[in-house]
Amino acid sequence: MFFRCEREPFLQAIQAAQRAVSSRTTLPILSGLLLNLEDGTLTVTGTDLDLGIETQFGVEQKEPGAMVLDARALADIVRRLPDRQVELSLDAATHLARITSGPAHFEIHSLDAADYPALPDPGEGLQWSVSYPVLRQLIRFTTFAAANDDTRASLNGALLELEDGEAHMVATDSYRLALFVQPQGAATSVKALIPAQTLQEVAKLLVDVPEAQAQITLGKSHALFQLGSTRVVTRLIDATFPNYRQIIPASFVTETVVDRLALQSALERASLLSRGGAVIVKMEISADQLQISASVPDEGDYREALPAQSTGEDLEVAFNARYLLDALRVIPNAAVRLRCTGSRSASLLMPEGPLAGGPATATSPAPDAARQQGDAPAAPEEAGGASAESASGGRFVYMVMPVMYR
């Protein structure tokens, strides 16, 4: 194996594939990246057996071949090479890989490429083509709500449902649930429970190319995301996701509209009462104000009143501040609507009006949202150019369970 290439694309490929390499693996070979050179194309592969990432780019091939190099060592070396050109060769007899760039010369040990596990083939499955911004939205608005423990496999993933021309993505940890509905689904109907961590890695690989399309193949036990020259293969979670449709309430006793940024910063202030721990905030909703208070034993008390426009009964309800903040941080709109069914049953938090463009791709708030909120200043992070996301017409619903207030 022998090739020459530019350092930058090589480093990018290594860093992409490295996302799938787990730091704590029991198989030595999985701490490495597979470099496979064929027909002038170098394929860099990383996997932890649950998730595999494979990315390709063209190189000046002198001799085809394959080898496995330690992922972290390779990334560190290539990042610090002095020259823009990199030359890499493998001595088949000694299993030493030689990396040369300008005056610098490395020889590092390689592992046997034949030991590297092949990425699974998702097989025949439903194909869905979706634009990068839309896919990123689906992921960003839902995966944060997934559980992060090994005991409840079905809650560690986000459910992707394609049905009736709509795409639904939903995740829950049983205390809160995030649902994003995208009107540009596929015609057929299919369900797949995808590990949330995988989706977050996919989102990181979705570089800003508005017109780019991701090709998603949903197989029986695996899913494939084709993102340009990068392939992400993930195991699907083999468990039943709770039936979320019937638990989302449809009628409410109290509804209030409040400035999103004001609410977010108020809850962040309340969270200061406890270092790291969860703070329970009590919300007293009345016709024109939202009174927020928190009390942490041995630490102190907090209270703040925000202007709000409410309908329905006055209500006292308490939440874990972190759960509300998680959702407020992804909602781009200037105002949010909180719809409560009572102090002991689920509430919904949603953007007021159609979903504005995401803060990540910076856009001005949607006109409807701004109109609802008379005194709300435009959020600074939302100022800036327009994005394709504002036109996507997605719908975000966040359901959160109240807690007992002590």
Residues that bind another protein (CB under 8 A): 26-30, 49, 112, 114-118, 120, 150-151, 153, 221, 235, 238
β-partners of residue 348 are 339, 399
Would you say 151 or 246 has its CB closer to another protein? 151
Name the token pair of 161.
């449902």
- DSSP string covering 221-238: SEEEEEETTEEEEEEPP-
CA torsion through residues 235, 53, 146, 211, sign: negative
Provide, rounded to whole angstroms, the least separation between the CB of residue 90 and another protein. 18
258 contact partners, CB below 8 Å, separation of at least 6: 290, 306, 307, 308, 309, 335, 336, 338
Provide, rounded to whole angstroms, the least separation between the CB of residue 378 and another protein. 47
Provide, rounded to whole angstroms, the least separation between the CB of residue 27 and another protein. 5
Name the token pair of 21.
């390499």
Would you say 21 or 169 has its CB closer to another protein? 21
Name the token pair of 235.
């195991």
CB atoms within 10 A of CB 329: 12
Would you say 31 or 343 has its CB closer to another protein? 31
Would you say 32 or 357 has its CB closer to another protein? 32
Provide, rounded to whole angstroms, the least separation between the CB of residue 337 and another protein. 39
Provide, rounded to whole angstroms, the least separation between the CB of residue 52 and another protein. 11
As a whole number of angstroms, the distance between CA 50 and CA 113 comes to 19
Would you say 34 or 338 has its CB closer to another protein? 34
Provide, rounded to whole angstroms, the least separation between the CB of residue 334 and another protein. 43
Provide, rounded to whole angstroms, the least separation between the CB of residue 151 and another protein. 8
Would you say 224 or 349 has its CB closer to another protein? 224
As a whole number of angstroms, the distance between CA 337 and CA 347 comes to 10
Look at phi and psi of residue 316 and say left if phi exceeds 0, alpha if psi is from -120 to 50, else beta: beta
286 touches 293 (CB < 8 A): no
Look at phi and psi of residue 40 and say left if phi exceeds 0, alpha if psi is from -120 to 50, else beta: left
Provide, rounded to whole angstroms, the least separation between the CB of residue 329 and another protein. 30
- Residue 20's nearest CA partner among 202, 281, 224 is 202
Would you say 9 or 120 has its CB closer to another protein? 120
Half-sphere exposure of 292 (CA within 13 A, CB side): 24
Would you say 240 or 345 has its CB closer to another protein? 240
